[in-house]
Structure 1
Amino acid sequence: MMSPKLLELQHLKYLDLSSINFNGTRLPYFIDSLSNLRHLDLSFASFGGRFPSQVGNLTHLQYLDLSGNDFNRVENLNSWLPLLSSLTYLDPSSTNLSNVHDWLEIESKLPKLTNLTLWGCGLPSPVIHSSTLFNINSSKSLAHVDLSQSQCTSPSIFLWLSNYNASLVLLDLSNNSLTGLIPSVIENFTSLVHLYLYQNKFDAVNLHSFSSLCSLQELSLGNTSLSGQFSKFVQMLSMCVQNSLEYLYLSDNHLSGSIPNLTNFSSLKALSLSRNQLSGTIPESIGQLSNLEQMDLAMNALQDVVSESHLSNLSRLTYLDLSSNLLVLSFSSNWVPPFKLRYIDLGWFWGTTSNGQVISLFNKQIGEMFANSTRNFTYYLEIHLSSNQIEGPIPSTLSHVSYLDLSSNNILGSISILCEAYKSLMFLNLSNNNLFGELPHCWTHFDHLVMLDLSYNAFSGKIPSTVGSLYHVEKLKLRSNRVVGEFPSSLKNCTSLKVIDVGNNQLSGCIPKWLGVSLHKLVVLMLSSNNFNGSMPSELCRLTNIQNLDVSANNISGTIPKCLNNFTVLAQKGNSSPTLQHSYRRVDTSYGVDYMDDATFVWKGRMHSIDFLSNRLTGEIPNEITDLVGLVSLNLSRNGLIGELPAKIGKLQALDVLDLSRNQIDGRIPTSLARIGRLSVLDLSDNFIVKIPTSTQLQSFDPSNFAGNPELCEPPLQKMCVDQQETVISSNEEEKDELITWGFYVSMGLGFIVGFWGVCGSLIFVKPWRYSYFRFLNVLNDWLYVRVISIKRQFN
């Protein structure tokens, strides 16, 4: 937390709290008391809650970075952002600005702004007239604009940017939904050095749009529907940028023809032409690009013999991908490559350089990778060999490897070799193989391990207690093995865990309470298809970050905890992330790696799911579950749940799947259920429901979704209700005032009795009080009589 003692630093001008984990707490209001701040960096500090508008009081700010936090959706910037008239750098990236339609006009009120970064902000189409775009009183020195991944669709973005055609140095509009043609105004951005337009939906790209951008050093047009002859595109670029261009990314387009002579581009460091329609040969002149560091020509129709002359002068080359072409390698046996590759992918070719650090040969049908013991693997740090046909035991020659992915092969035997040869592992994926035996007890050796995936094998025995020594592990997957016994309590020491998946094993005992107490970072908890028993511990409600909770197909009894609405992430809209990122850096080298989880846990691109299928849960569905407005999938089927559906179930607007079948739920279906517009899977079969609300979208579901409810009537069923009346429950009726209950009437009766006898009983049994009361009434009567006679005389 931030200490108020910061206020004692009244002369503070520079404050950097970036990458500190504040665990979703709100930015303290006292931040605006540091009135001398010029530089404030709160990037990736895990702040949450309301967006910090109080920074608008820091009127001397020149640099403000709020990126990568978990702030709520912003409704208004106009009340505070224009107050920061001294800003030169502004970055609120990853903040939801989808309701801020005047964001362009607000920016115009920051006259000194040079850097504007709004990536991942979900920007709406700006509500602004084109005439205003050319007359805004904004900064004329805006040099850096990053609007990537912000769902931009409006062509007015280019019109607005034309105000800065003399100052703009970097423009990033990548990963958006821009359509149509690139407007001709882009030709006027003559000061551009870096231009990123990749991953958009342009109908076509005019090659001449870039002919006047003579300052370009980096041009990225991947996946932009760029078509035509590649040689013509090179000829057009040669007019202006042949001496300055360093990075050219044109992958995932429709470029055709052959690769021309590129020696005019003497500064070129990266060339990416993968996934196009290029044919012909690779010119030997490409070997004269002495500054080239990355070359990617994969997945084209190139046919050639690649010889030493193609690579002779590429001494700086570190990345080479020529895979999925029709190429043949022809080198003399004594040729020494001039480069030191870190990555090579030739589809079928095993790298011969001992300087490599990364091998990526997944899905290449390799069968005998480790058969030759003379191959030297000693210095490889990262090996990707998944989805091949590699057989035999795990090799013992990878002693320095940090990232090892041998998943989806035919590797068999035990994994005891890990204890002897793999002390540097950070990421280990051996899933989908034929490994067996008990899990080893040597996990205390793996100080660096972040990800462990042993799922879909045949491991048996108990989970060893030494897994509690994996203090840095963030992901533990043992799904679909034959593991038995209870969760080892030592696992509570692994406080960095974000993912636990032990589904489809033979684990038993109660679900441990410490899962919710100690592992508060859990995002995914998969315990399905085991033998867990007992009740659902309320301590699980402390998992405020949980996005996917699956305890299906166990023997869990008792009621569903009412505290599920403590799942903070599930109780928020639009907070789902389809992947989880894990990262770690080795202390003995400069090597670091990021790992993105696969989509195992994702439903239609989102994770938010609760699955209690096939247990012995009883009682009613708690009303609190309707507070989880971010839920995408809810499965409570095959239990013993009773009572009516929660009246406010319509609050779950994000639901795609709702399965409540095979319970004992009764009563009517609330009409609010029909207001869930995204609902595509609904199963209420085999319950005791009596009425489907008519004139709703529920009539569009198949009758089988409601089968097995003997008293159920109304379409889509053929059976009509006896009274033939359409008794759709109004929202006022289903969300009735819960104060009017049996207890309410009892309380009202008791209150009347106490109040009546408290007054009247006193007058009956206490003589002095009775005399005083009637004396008061006589005096009041006399006073009223005199007042009435007096008023009457005045009128007369």
Structure 2
Amino acid sequence: MRGGGLHFHFHLWLVFLFALTAASFGLGVENQSVRCIAAERRALLDFKKRLTVVENRLVSWTSEEEECCNWIGVGCDNSTGHVVKLDLDAMFTTGEIGSSLLELKHLSYLDLSSNHFHKIPDFIGSLSELTYLDLSGNSFTGFIPHQLGNLSRLLCLDFSRNSLSSFIPISFDNMPALQRINFEGNNLEGGIPKSLRNICNLKELNLNDNKLSGSLGVVIKNLSGCAKDSLEALNLARNRLTEALPDLSILSSLRKLSLSGNQLEGPLPVSIGKMSQLVLLDVSSNSLHDCWNKYMILTAINLENNDLSRIIPNSLGSLQTLESLRLRNTSLYGEIPQSLENSTALKLLDLGDNKLTGIIPPWIGERLNGLNVLHLRSNEFHGNIPSTLCRQQLLQVLDLSLNNISGDIPSCLNNLTAMAHLGSSMALIPLVGITYTVDFIGAIGINFHEHLLVVWKGFEREYGNTLGLLKSIDLSCNKLSGKIPRELASLQGLINLNLSRNMLRGSIIREISQLKSLDSLNLSTNNLSGEIPESMSELSFLSMLDFSNNNLSGKIPSSTQLQSFNATSYSGNPGLCGEPLRKCPGGEPPKMPNNGGNEGLGDINIFNW
């Protein structure tokens, strides 16, 4: 998932439309006296002839099986026998969408998504009964047929994840019933049609990841008809929209807004503070500044990768419904205001890559008890790690790296119980790349599934859908001293532990073998001494290990895992030996001298080393 974008997944649409069809048309074949219409059966067989189906997934579509209403992906009206539904989602099908579909004159639901059809045919605009049309994920190229504007009954239109180009040619004047439009992930250019303003039932408009250009003000103006009163979710992320943000308060029903990854500049308008329904705001990766207002009932704010160049205002503490606050890389300075302790619903706090100073406030551990992610890396914090952080029993990602933090690592970190559990211990991490589901009734259920940038194995990586499985502690690049606390070994769900580039002393704890989920362990550039514990050989999931630049000595324990790492993982420890480093002194096995009594046997190793 890419940073800053809202990705809309509307699972309830399928459920609703299926229920609607079933209720209105009696979908099914319960009335055994009503059978498949012969002409429609022939049309389906002709449609199949133009396809190449992997693994014979349409095996039931045969001339021998007369009852086409029983075929895979086919749904019929229970009272008339007419085909009203064709759902071939992810059938791994290639070929041509044949015009024989025109014989299915009662078809209201058509889903050909996630296949490999060649072209969107113009004739689809003649399937006049369609209420649901999903052609997403087919790698279609070329233009969107303007004939689609004839589908006056359509509720849902989804052409996302294709390679469609040029401008949006459809006139929406004859499509008053549309509630959802999804053109995400294409190569569409220009602006949006003025005719969108006349769709009075439009709830979701998803145009992210295209090449739309021009003034955002013009886009908003083209939504200023009756659509402005119905629109609840607007996603224009990762386009080429320019200029300052206009007055957005005319979109009075808007609940989710993503404008990330454009070329917007200037301040956020004060009018955003008047949008009483807005709960999710993502304007990350633009050139915005002075983006501070009272944002009413916002649940998530993402302003990362903007040049705010100011202190964090106390007013943010008034957002008591806030669950996700992302201000990474926004040139913030000063201290974290204590008013944020009032935002007790926070689950994600990302203030990384700024110039924040002062100590890490103890109230973060005392008041923000629901945190799943605390990301304060690459600032100028000093002082100790507050022991109150140990109260964060839901915390799964703790990143305090690249600061000036000193003192010991708190031994009470074993109280971070979410990191002690194997697998995913939180229901859903609220992070940005927010997904949500929407139904036709207008109630929007919000599910948070964000991305997070984590330094992993020396590289900055983005975690999205798998973020709930990530359990990580990164305290690297500070001034921490003392010993590695044995209590850390109780965090058996840890996948990443990075304590590198500090001043830690003592030995590597033997109990580290209890961290059996570890994928990445970095203890490099400290003052650790003694031998590598033999128990390290039990860590079978390690794919990254760095013990370099310490004072370790003795033989590297033998195991397939430990010997598989490059010698650089152990370099800078003059007293360390064994594969993959130099052989340890006295490590050569003795050989049986050849005194002539064992001709032909050669040198025999009498020990099983």
- Answer yes or no: same fold by TM over 0.5: yes
Identify if the C-alpha distance between structure 1 residues 627 and 218 changes in structure 2 by more than 3 Å, giving closer, same or farther: farther
2:169, 2:472 → 1: CA distance?
A: 54
Q: Deviations over 1:526-571 (max 9, x none)?
A: 0111111111111111111111000001111111111111111110
2:56, 2:142 → 1: CA distance?
A: 28
> Does 2:450 correspond to 1:597?
yes
Q: Secondary structure of 1:458's match?
A: coil
> Does 2:233 correspond to 1:382?
yes
Q: Deviations over 1:634-673 (max 9, x none)?
A: 0000111111111121111111110000111111101221
Most deviating of 462-471 and 241-250: 241-250
Structure 1, gaps ≥5 residues long: 1-165, 168-201, 221-233, 727-796
How far 1:481 sits from its partner (Å)? Answer: 1.6
2:353 alignment counterpart: 504
1:483, 1:426 → 2: CA distance?
A: 23
1:407, 1:490 → 2: CA distance?
A: 27
How far 1:390 sits from its partner (Å)? Answer: 1.3
Q: 2:82 aligns with which of 233, 243, 256?
A: 243
How far 1:678 sits from its partner (Å)? Answer: 1.4
2:244 alignment counterpart: 393
Q: 2:264 aligns with which of 383, 390, 411?
A: 411
1:154 alignment counterpart: none
1:428 alignment counterpart: 281
How far 1:592 sits from its partner (Å)? Answer: 4.6
How far 1:251 sits from its partner (Å)? Answer: 3.9
How far 1:326 sits from its partner (Å)? Answer: 7.0
Identify if the C-alpha distance between structure 1 residues 242 and 645 changes in structure 2 by more than 3 Å, giving closer, same or farther: farther
Does the 8 Å contact 1:689/1:709 carry over to 2? yes
1:16 alignment counterpart: none
> Does 2:553 correspond to 1:711?
no
Q: Deviations over 1:481-528 (max 9, x none)?
A: 211121111111111111000001111111111111111110000011
Identify if the C-alpha distance between structure 1 residues 638 and 282 changes in structure 2 by more than 3 Å, giving closer, same or farther: same
> Does 2:174 correspond to 1:336?
yes
1:329, 1:436 → 2: CA distance?
A: 32
- How do 1:459-474 and structure 2 match up within 5 A? 459-474=308-323
1:35 alignment counterpart: none
1:607 alignment counterpart: 470
Q: Deviations over 1:609-640 (max 9, x none)?
A: 10000111111111111111111110000111
1:365 alignment counterpart: 211
Q: Secondary structure of 2:216's match?
A: coil
Does the 8 Å contact 1:532/1:556 carry over to 2? yes
Q: Deviations over 1:304-359 (max 9, x none)?
A: 88355x553542433343763479977789x6335334324284472422222222
- How do 1:31-110 and structure 2 match up within 5 A? none
Q: Deviations over 1:247-280 (max 9, x none)?
A: 5142472321233332554554432223433235
Higher-Rg structure is 1
Q: 2:192 aligns with which of 347, 350, 359?
A: 350
Does the 8 Å contact 2:260/2:282 carry over to 1? yes
2:566 alignment counterpart: 702
- Which residue identity is paired with 2:510? A
- Which residue identity is paired with 2:262? N
Most deviating of 590-599 and 626-635: 590-599
1:204, 1:578 → 2: CA distance?
A: 36
1:502, 1:447 → 2: CA distance?
A: 21
Structure 2, gaps ≥5 residues long: 1-28, 31-52, 455-461, 591-609
Q: 2:417 aligns with which of 550, 568, 580?
A: 568
Does the 8 Å contact 1:411/1:435 carry over to 2? yes
1:134 alignment counterpart: none
Identify if the C-alpha distance between structure 1 residues 281 and 410 changes in structure 2 by more than 3 Å, giving closer, same or farther: closer
> Does 2:115 correspond to 1:276?
yes
2:137, 2:485 → 1: CA distance?
A: 55
How far 1:680 sits from its partner (Å)? Answer: 0.9
- How do 1:125-144 and structure 2 match up within 5 A? none
Does the 8 Å contact 1:318/1:343 carry over to 2? yes
2:159 alignment counterpart: 321
How far 1:290 sits from its partner (Å)? Answer: 1.5
- Which residue identity is paired with 1:427? L
Does the 8 Å contact 2:245/2:269 carry over to 1? no
How far 1:436 sits from its partner (Å)? Answer: 2.5
- Which residue identity is paired with 1:394? L
2:383, 2:389 → 1: CA distance?
A: 14
Does the 8 Å contact 2:54/2:91 carry over to 1? no
Q: Secondary structure of 1:479's match?
A: coil
Does the 8 Å contact 1:427/1:452 carry over to 2? yes
- Number of corresponding residues: 505
Does the 8 Å contact 1:274/1:300 carry over to 2? no
Higher RCO by CA contacts (8 Å cutoff, separation 6 or greater)? 2
Q: Secondary structure of 2:211's match?
A: coil
Identity value in percent:
29
TM-score calculated relative to the size of structure 2 = 0.74
Does the 8 Å contact 1:218/1:248 carry over to 2? no
How far 1:423 sits from its partner (Å)? Answer: 3.8
2:150, 2:70 → 1: CA distance?
A: 25
1:655 alignment counterpart: 518
Identify if the C-alpha distance between structure 1 residues 255 and 661 changes in structure 2 by more than 3 Å, giving closer, same or farther: same
Q: Deviations over 1:404-461 (max 9, x none)?
A: 1111111111224355554432111111111224x42x32xx3320110111111122
1:295, 1:384 → 2: CA distance?
A: 18
Identify if the C-alpha distance between structure 1 residues 213 and 674 changes in structure 2 by more than 3 Å, giving closer, same or farther: farther
1:304, 1:684 → 2: CA distance?
A: 56
1:353, 1:706 → 2: CA distance?
A: 63
Does the 8 Å contact 2:356/2:379 carry over to 1? yes
2:157, 2:171 → 1: CA distance?
A: 22
- Which residue identity is paired with 1:243? H
Q: 1:522 aligns with which of 338, 351, 371?
A: 371
2:603 alignment counterpart: none
Q: Deviations over 1:666-691 (max 9, x none)?
A: 11101221221111111101111102
2:574, 2:516 → 1: CA distance?
A: 29
Q: Deviations over 1:180-218 (max 9, x none)?
A: xxxxxxxxxxxxxxxxxxxxxx97134224666959699
Q: 2:538 aligns with which of 672, 675, 698?
A: 675
